[in-house]
Amino acid sequence: MLLKRRTRIAYFMILPSVAMITLLTLVPLLEGLIVSVQSQDMGRPNPTRFVGWEHYIRALFEDDDFWSSLRRTIIWTIGSVAGAYCLALSLALLVNIDIQGRKFFRALFLLPWVVPEVSTALLWKWLYGDEFGILNFILKSLGIVSSPVLWLADPNLAMPSVIAVQIWKLYPVMFIVLLAALQNVPKELHEAAIIDGANSRQRFWYITLPFIRGTSVITTLLASIWSFQNFDIIYLLTGGGPAGVTKVLATLMYQKAFWGSEMGYAAAIGVLMLVVLLLLSIAYLFAYKVQKD
Amino acid sequence: MIFKNTTISRRTTIIAGLAGLFSLGSSGVNAQGQTALTFWTVRLNTPELAEALRGILAEFQKAYPSIKITHEPVSGGLVYPKFLAAVRGQTMPDVAEAYSYHPLQFAAMDQMEPMDDIIAHWKSNGTLDNIFNEYAYKKFFWKGRYWGVPYNLDIRPIYYRKDLLDAKGIKPPKNWAEFQSAAIATHNPSAGNFGAVFPAGDFHISQHFFMSFMLQAGGGILDKDGNLIFGTKAKEANIRALTFLTDLATKHKVTPPGIAAYNTDDAHTIFVQGRATFGFGTGGVISRIMKENPSLFDKVGILDVLEGPGGPTSRLSAGFYNPMFIWKHSPAKEAAKTFIKWFIQSGRLEPLYRTTPGQHWPIFKADVASPRVKGNRLLEEALTKVVPFTTDFAYPGFGRPEMGIIDGEKLFAAPVNEVVVGTKTPEKAVMDAHAKMARLFTT
Amino acid sequence: MPKNMLSPQISGLKTRGIVLFFSTYRRAYFLLIVYSLLLLAATVLLFPIFWMVSSSLKPSEELFARNLTMLPIHWTLENYRNVWINTKFPSYFWNSFKVSALSTICSVLIAMYAAYAIARIQFVGRYSFGLVLLITQMFPHILLVIPLYLLIQRMGLLNSHFALFIAYTAFSLPFTIWLLRGFFESIPMELEEAAEIDGASMLTTFHKIILPLAGPGLAAVTMFSFIRAWNEFLFALVFLSSRELFTMPIGLASFQEEFTFRWDLIMAGAGIITLPILLLFLLMQRFIVQGLLGGALKG
């Protein structure tokens, strides 16, 4: 054979995954692409017709909703991921300390990940309630506020409130990955630095962080990808309100596809979401590589 | 998986794997010699309702052993994707009960079987006269044919606390002015009581109460010819209605501060927990009161439909006559029609109504006299005070498929939400909503 | 505060007594802070879950009482009983388990070969494959739902667990391969090189040497995949129509009437969905973290 034996084996080894991924993700994506250049307005008797760039032009130039939703999606993503990262890193640093019971805490901090998305959204909606929510109840009982905080009804608070929920959902995975990375940092480096007189701030900045940079980059990238597309949490908590301040691309797409019967336009939004994600990922990874060198 | 020091033999793995795959493959069974009928439901899916439905369907099986009916629940907010995917893949159910405007939307996609013969049958045997409101079936009339038939009704009453009104010597309000002053007079935050509570979140429910007031102000969405008049001929009336509703929150401040995030349930809970004088809700409030706060039952009443600026003839309340419909390409159309004629009859659906009182309503006048209703004062009030005055969103126009999108994309819930939050004036909110609706009617 | 208070270098510089006194005092203080922070974090972060469980044990009157209580006043298992006995939840449970377990096993089996190949073998397309893995995770699922539905329908697999099985397997592959690749890369190459010298083929090396060491890594990806499949909602909703086949997330969603959330059922249902995973997780977490450490083998 022309190929080395090792290479042949390699191709066999990746074959099942390539086949499944192609069939079940790439092919549907292609179909989505095709739908996005057609008019699939379900409420019409017209058969599917080719409309070229029409939907894309509408999204990018005519529909105000698209750009404002994109902006909010980016805020949502950055807010959630940055928040989750900081929380995850802090917890990982804490749990990394060699004390009794750390394994117990480690397990505890992973719990939010296990709650299914639907329950998460409903649970938090209830927690945030103005009259019956436990959060406001606690705040009132402690005398911190006299009237309930409108977590989900105040346009200024709504986005931070939903971001908080996403942080809660996101941080466990990041936490466990960062913890693993932290435990890979060689102890000798720390000990040498102590001898040299470095304080813990310096050690963190110059030893720990660089060591976990690779992991941090990857995990924040993946978390961003997941958050960017997330739909359930916002939809169930606020429906995109109040006054549209939490309308993101995913909810826009869902609304157009399934309530507005505009599959073509929705598909175009979906493709644009993909493109945005690709561009952002490339930029992000590029920045990472540049920093590395 | 292979752990240290143990290996699972290849053979065992393969056998286990095949067994696993095999167990995945087995699903439904086809009956021999019977016409198979698939029946999708979108609102009869909670455990109790499903149980009641099972009983009804079992009766049908007994009456028609040659038709095998399979019930499939379609649940959650993703009803549309299932139906749309079924349209595209041509796997629609033979018969279904679903959202208000589905028959028209699916008819526009040429997927619906006309129901003219059933309507004619009902006309001849007096069933049509027995239905509360002619818009119940007129809403499904489009391009000369009927595309769906109503089978149940979803109402939007305003509940009130008799005791709180009595304490102030106020009689139950009958018009807008009385309602507003009653809400203001009984608003007592220090005692933990709000004047009124209604959902104003960016959810579908918020537009329903706006609709009632729109009708009472003489406004609406369509005119009798089916043209969009929301922001044109009906603009003033609709703005008045929106202002009246939202003033309760913004100007008079008699509502809970958080209503801009409220969905249906949140408003219900406030009222059921006894914290508001007036509560805007679905019929489901009745069963929630019975279940969660039975002591409140005797203190609660249902208001007559209010009279607004539109006068006595506009004394209307918004509601949904929910349809059943048949797929055009179903291989069992006749069986489906038989089923529908059997299913939608006065008294047939009593088990459903008994399960969660108030959640579902019959469409037949005769059912007002049923013992179930007679034995429950609130049901009786709803059936006498609200149901006869309930009409559809499209009133006075007949149905149009675009209404499905207007309703589905909650195009006139946004105005309520925006005005309550304070980001738009009623006028601007109505105009913006009109612009979005107008777009649907031009393409 | 430096982690290692008692490093020999420092204690050698001062008299023992003073060092012991101060370092014990400081260490205690330090520990106090650390434990306080941990407890604070745990309380805040786990409060929602506590609230969920506590609510599920309350009778409905207490859920919306004027004075909420942390713990139920009248403990009741009524909600759980209602969900378990009066609904089809037990079969939803079994369906979820069946589909999640099988798709996870299959996904891990397929992924481990692919991961090893990318980790160790230089072949044309190695880089692109890695890129494809990353990019496929960016596809919005809502966009894929209907085309996927049509595909499944064309394959005649609508309304079957098989459809979910292949969907879950396929969608968990990118992340699983990614994680396992990292894990394999961290295994020192000396082991494989030694095997090669001994004349073992690559596959044999993989099966006999690498895989036995891979327990933790495999445990980690198994857990990830299982949880993702267990909680997955969108595809289950669109692919399945018969109630008997529903998985738990769909079952949970079916407790929602058109405009009403059945809080009592939903909280209990959520509890039932969460608890088994929790237990499984607590049992396996040591392996999982080890697996993510990867480099634990180095040290």
ipTM for the whole complex: 0.84
pLDDT confidence of residue B329: 92
Is C265:C82 a contact under the CB 8 Å cutoff? yes
The Cα C146–Cα C162 span in angstroms is 17
Mean pLDDT over A174-200 rounds to: 81
Contact between chains at C99 and B47 (C-beta distance less than 8 A): no
CATH number of this structure's domain A64-292, picked from the four choices 1.10.3720.10, 3.20.20.450, 3.90.230.10, 3.90.105.10: 1.10.3720.10
Contact between chains at B202 and A258 (C-beta distance less than 8 A): no
pLDDT digits (tens, 9 = 90+) for C217-237: 888 888 888 988 988 887 887
In-domain check, residue B256: yes
Mean pLDDT over A20-48 rounds to: 78
In-domain check, residue B92: yes
pLDDT band at residue B26, thresholds of 50, 70 and 90? very low
What residues of B are in contact with residue A54 (Cβ under 8 Å)? none
In-domain check, residue B286: yes
Return the closest-CA partner of residue A91 out of C152, C218, C46: C46
pLDDT confidence of residue A119: 79
Looking at the structure, tell me whether residues B141 and B215 fall in a common domain: no
Q: Is C159 part of the contact surface with chain B (CB cutoff 8 Å)?
A: yes
pLDDT beyond 80 at C285: no
pLDDT confidence of residue B77: 62
**Percent of chain A predicted with pLDDT > 90:** 24
CA end-to-end span of chain A: 40
Which residues are B41's β-sheet partners? B73, B97
Which residues are A47's β-sheet partners? none
pLDDT confidence of residue A254: 82
In-domain check, residue B69: yes
Token representation of residue B428 = 């601007």
**Percent of chain B predicted with pLDDT > 70:** 91
pLDDT band at residue C257, thresholds of 50, 70 and 90? low
In-domain check, residue B384: no
Task: Output the average pLDDT for chain A.
Answer: 85
Is A159:A75 a contact under the CB 8 Å cutoff? yes
The Cα B430–Cα C199 span in angstroms is 80
Mean pLDDT over A7-26 rounds to: 87
Nearest CA in chain C to B356: C257
Mean pLDDT over A72-94 rounds to: 94
pLDDT band at residue B427, thresholds of 50, 70 and 90? very high
pLDDT band at residue C295, thresholds of 50, 70 and 90? very low
The Cα B97–Cα B360 span in angstroms is 13
Query: What CATH number is attached to the domain comprising B209?
Result: 3.40.190.10
pLDDT band at residue B17, thresholds of 50, 70 and 90? low
Looking at the structure, tell me whether residues B431 and B286 fall in a common domain: yes
Q: Across the interface, which of A42, A130, A155 has its CB nearest the CB of B421?
A: A155
pLDDT band at residue C297, thresholds of 50, 70 and 90? very low
Mean pLDDT over B127-155 rounds to: 91
* Chain B (65-84) residues lying within 8 Å, Cβ to Cβ, of chain A: 77-78, 80-81, 84
pLDDT confidence of residue B32: 57
Q: Give me the residue spans of the domains in chain A.
A: 64-292
Q: Across the interface, which of C64, C82, C242 has its CB nearest the CB of B72?
A: C242
pLDDT band at residue B1, thresholds of 50, 70 and 90? very low
In-domain check, residue B392: no
Looking at the structure, tell me whether residues B120 and B235 fall in a common domain: no
Q: Across the interface, which of A90, A107, A254 has its CB nearest the CB of C285?
A: A107
Looking at the structure, tell me whether residues B45 and B134 fall in a common domain: yes
Q: Which class for B13: exposed (0-12), middle (13-18), buried (19 or more C-beta within 10 A)?
A: middle
Contact between chains at A23 and C117 (C-beta distance less than 8 A): no
Token representation of residue C200 = 């073992």
pLDDT beyond 70 at A257: yes
What residues of A are in contact with residue B417 (Cβ under 8 Å)? 241-243
Distance from CA of A155 to the nearest CA of C (A): 23
pLDDT beyond 80 at B314: yes
Mean pLDDT over C42-57 rounds to: 90
Contact between chains at C174 and A14 (C-beta distance less than 8 A): no
Q: Provide the b/e sequence for A204-221 (b: ≥16 CB within 10 Å).
A: eeebbeebbeebbbbbbb
Q: Is C217 part of the contact surface with chain A (CB cutoff 8 Å)?
A: no
* Chain C (37-66) residues lying within 8 Å, Cβ to Cβ, of chain A: 37-38, 41-42, 45-46, 48-49, 51-52, 63-64
In-domain check, residue B378: no
The Cα A93–Cα B272 span in angstroms is 47
Looking at the structure, tell me whether residues B262 and B190 fall in a common domain: yes
Cβ atoms within 10 A of the Cβ of B121, count? Answer: 14
pLDDT band at residue A292, thresholds of 50, 70 and 90? low
pLDDT digits (tens, 9 = 90+) for B204-245: 899 999 999 999 999 999 988 888 999 999 999 999 999 999
Q: Which of B13, B54, B78 to mutate to test the interface with C (most CBs of C within 10 A)?
A: B78
Q: Where are the alpha helices (DSSP H) in chain C?
A: 8-11, 16-56, 60-63, 78-86, 89-120, 126-136, 141-154, 161-185, 189-197, 202-205, 211-213, 215-231, 234-239, 248-253, 263-293
pLDDT confidence of residue C194: 83
pLDDT confidence of residue B23: 47
pLDDT band at residue B304, thresholds of 50, 70 and 90? very high
| Number of domains composing chain B | 2
State the DSSP code for B97.
E
Distance from CA of C189 to the nearest CA of B (A): 19
pLDDT confidence of residue A213: 82
pLDDT confidence of residue B117: 94
pLDDT beyond 60 at A232: yes
Looking at the structure, tell me whether residues B102 and B169 fall in a common domain: no
In-domain check, residue B381: no
Q: Which class for A101: exposed (0-12), middle (13-18), buried (19 or more C-beta within 10 A)?
A: exposed
pLDDT beyond 70 at B326: yes
Looking at the structure, tell me whether residues B57 and B94 fall in a common domain: yes
Looking at the structure, tell me whether residues B170 and B58 fall in a common domain: no
pLDDT confidence of residue B359: 81
Contact between chains at C149 and B85 (C-beta distance less than 8 A): yes
Between these two residues, B382 and C185, which has the higher pLDDT value?
A: B382
The residue range of the domain holding B250 is 158-318+411-442
Q: Is A16 part of the contact surface with chain C (CB cutoff 8 Å)?
A: yes
Cβ atoms within 10 A of the Cβ of B134, count? Answer: 11
pLDDT band at residue B157, thresholds of 50, 70 and 90? very high
Mean pLDDT over B53-64 rounds to: 93
CA end-to-end span of chain C: 25
The Cα A174–Cα A81 span in angstroms is 9
pLDDT digits (tens, 9 = 90+) for A188-223: 877 888 788 777 777 777 778 887 887 788 889 889
